Amino acid sequence: MTSCSPWIIHCDGSAEPNPGRMGMGAVIVAPDGARQTLSFTSSERGCNNEAELRALMAALHALEATHVQALQIFCDNSVLVAQLDGHSTQPPVIRLRDLFEEARALLASFDKVMLSWIPRHRNGEADALARAAIGLPPKVTVKPLQGARSKLKRRKRQG
């Protein structure tokens, strides 16, 4: 494992109601597999986009003193990803502009950053941490059974 192996961050935020109380969650995984989780609330009220952004920023702050060079960040919020990777054609909501600028400055302190959108069901642990921070149970994700459709198709063809 080289020193350039990326650290992995999964981050998520929740607001209940939206806007409302904010809970933030993040999972940080070192190249050697060591894990750290973050789960906290904000004393401020805000929207889910703000909660997501604050969760990412908390994870970045947690890594500031570790001399991390490369990051792979996964987030299920397309607004956050589009704003931070520079592909958004829309400016951020005025109320969140300063937070986005602060997040960009934090990201710039790392040598290499890869920011990726992932579907919500692939970000379950960070989501559960964010929801737990404001007293909400984890969301139940229903996954299709492996092979269930192919078995059904075979039965129809045989019958």
For residue 103, being part of any structural domain is answered with yes
Q: State the Cα–Cα distance between residues 67 and 65, nearest whole angstrom.
A: 6
**Run of H or E including 52:** helix 48-63
For residue 75, being part of any structural domain is answered with yes
What is residue 111's predicted lDDT score, i.e. its pLDDT? 95
Q: Provide the token pair at 105.
A: 């400055």
For residue 2, being part of any structural domain is answered with no
Query: Which residues on neighbouring strands pair with residue 23, listed in sequence order?
Result: 14, 41
For residue 86, being part of any structural domain is answered with yes
Q: In the chain, how many domains are there? A: 1
Give the three-state DSSP class for 7.
strand
For residue 73, being part of any structural domain is answered with yes
pLDDT tens, N- to C-terminus, the chain (159 residues): 445 799 999 999 999 999 999 999 999 999 999 999 999 999 999 999 999 999 999 999 999 989 899 999 999 999 999 999 988 888 888 999 999 999 999 999 999 999 999 999 999 999 999 999 999 998 876 655 555 555 555 555 555
Domain housing 150: 7-158
What is residue 1's predicted lDDT score, i.e. its pLDDT? 44
For residue 18, being part of any structural domain is answered with yes
CATH code, 29: 3.30.420.10
Q: State the burial class of residue 85 (Cβ atoms within 10 Å of its Cβ: 0-12, 13-18, 19+).
A: middle
